Amino acid sequence: MVRMITHLFFSFGVVAIALAPLHSWWLILPAAIVVFFTNFVIDLFGHEGGSRPRRTPLTHSIVYAPAWGIAVGVVFGFIMYIMTRGQMPIAMFSVLILCGVISSLSHLFSDSLTEGGIYVSTEHNENTRWRLASYKYDNSMLNLGLIALGLGLLYLAYLIRR
């Protein structure tokens, strides 16, 4: 895990780019909520305690992580559907699910740059762990770099959208 704040900025930047072609400002809030809960849920269940937290394939594998993203998108979709008394367009469900999946994949990308790595299958062993780089999760360069990248993507999304 990189720091939670890093996950949020980076995921939100990637989601903003993905949604930019829709040219819809009001999507920002629901998208941000899905980004938050997807990253939160993945790290809540994905890191077993102790001084050296480890990840489990249940949340940090390329198989299961998107499933959590889909679940968050569906649950939040239903909440919005009820809150809008059924006025929410059904297409919103797919947008929210897309946000969840993108959040989960960008979460895995960020974690794949740390020494803990991520899982490429659902098996919990060294052979299935995979990483692009081996920074410590709290490495400032890594965290600030990803936050800067997230902000850059946000700005780019702003330019596309306006």
Q: Is residue 41 a contact point for Zn ion (CB under 5 A)?
A: no
Q: Is residue 1 a contact point for Zn ion (CB under 5 A)?
A: yes
Q: Give the residue with the Cβ less far from Zn ion, 147 or 157.
A: 147
Residues 57-86 within binding reach of Zn ion (CB under 5 A): none
Closest CB to Zn ion: residue number: 1
| 30 contact partners, CB below 8 Å, separation of at least 6 | 76, 80, 92, 95, 96, 99
DSSP annotation of 20 reads G
Residues 95-154 within binding reach of Zn ion (CB under 5 A): 111
Residue ranges in the chain assigned as alpha helix (H): 4-19, 28-46, 57-60, 65-83, 91-111, 140-161
Q: Give the residue with the Cβ less far from Zn ion, 43 or 72.
A: 43
The residues of the shown chain that bind Zn ion, judged by CB under 5 A, are: 1, 43, 111
